[in-house]
């Protein structure tokens, strides 16, 4: 954690100048300035005094506030090119969430990775082309075309296959994350 940044963040959130905070903590303005720029480190007692002057506790001081990003663009995607497929992770670090969406592109005769049995569910929407959902030991599978969806439990191994001569795109969402 960047302690200096956190002090400055809380100070400005409380509309305090360096001088005002220094006065409340019985510290010098110069010392606080050095803390905020990470040029020096405070003792635990000094940090407790600063936290108290900022109206917080040490526990809350060290709780990181998350700037939750909710909109993602193509520059945020992570792309993994494999034989016969391209996996686009369209939400960065989605494995930390409860669901994980990917955009899967399957080339002619391409296949997704084999998904082993897991606790959870999956949803897919075929954006273009035609695929087959192969579940369990069956090689035949279920045909799914553009505009159609699938919703399955993760209790059997499965994968997607593109048997056509054109590429296919699938929005595939899994909970919990497994990709």
Residue 66 pLDDT > 70: no
Find the mean pLDDT for residues 132-143.
90
Q: b/e per residue, 76-93, with b = 16+ CB within 10 A?
A: eeeeeeeeebbbbbbbee
Backbone angles phi, psi at 165, to 5 degrees: -95, 5
The residue written with tokens 């110069």 in the block is: 30
The CA distance from 41 to 37, in Å, is 10
What domains lie within the chain, and their CATH numbers?
Answer: 3-61 (1.10.260.40), 74-175 (2.60.120.10)
Whether the ω angle into residue 176 lies within 30 degrees of 0, i.e. cis, is yes
The residue written with tokens 């300035």 in the block is: 33
Residue 147 pLDDT > 80: yes
Beta strands in 33-128 (DSSP E): 78-82, 85-89, 100-106, 121-128
Helices (H), the chain: 3-13, 18-25, 29-36, 44-53, 58-61
Q: What is the pTM of this model?
A: 0.62
What letter does residue 39 receive in the DSSP assignment?
S
67-124 pLDDT per residue, tens: 678 899 988 889 999 888 999 999 988 777 889 999 999 999 999 999 999 999 999 9
What tokens were used for 105? 């592109």
Give the list of residues 6+ apart from residue 99 with CB closer than 8 angstroms, or none: 173, 174, 175, 176, 177
2-41 pLDDT per residue, tens: 899 999 999 999 999 999 999 999 999 999 999 999 999 9
């Amino acid at each position: 954690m960047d302690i200096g940044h956190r002090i400055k963040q809380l100070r400005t959130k409380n509309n305090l100048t360096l001088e005002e905070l220094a006065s409340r903590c019985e510290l010098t303005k110069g010392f606080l300035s050095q803390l905020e720029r990470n040029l020096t480190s405070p003792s635990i007692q000094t940090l407790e005094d600063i936290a108290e002057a900022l109206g917080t506790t040490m526990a809350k001081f060290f709780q990181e506030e998350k700037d939750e990003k909710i909109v993602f663009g193509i520059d945020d995607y992570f792309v993994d090119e494999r034989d016969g497929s391209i996996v686009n992770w369209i939400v960065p670090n989605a494995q930390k969430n409860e669901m994980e969406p990917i955009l899967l592109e399957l080339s002619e005769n391409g296949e997704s990775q084999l998904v082993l049995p897991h606790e959870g569910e999956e949803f897919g929407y075929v954006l273009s082309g035609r695929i087959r959902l192969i579940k369990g030991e069956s090689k035949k599978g279920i045909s799914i075309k553009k505009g159609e969806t699938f919703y399955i439990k993760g209790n059997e191994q499965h994968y997607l296959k593109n048997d056509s001569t054109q590429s296919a795109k699938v929005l595939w969402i899994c909970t919990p994350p497994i990709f």
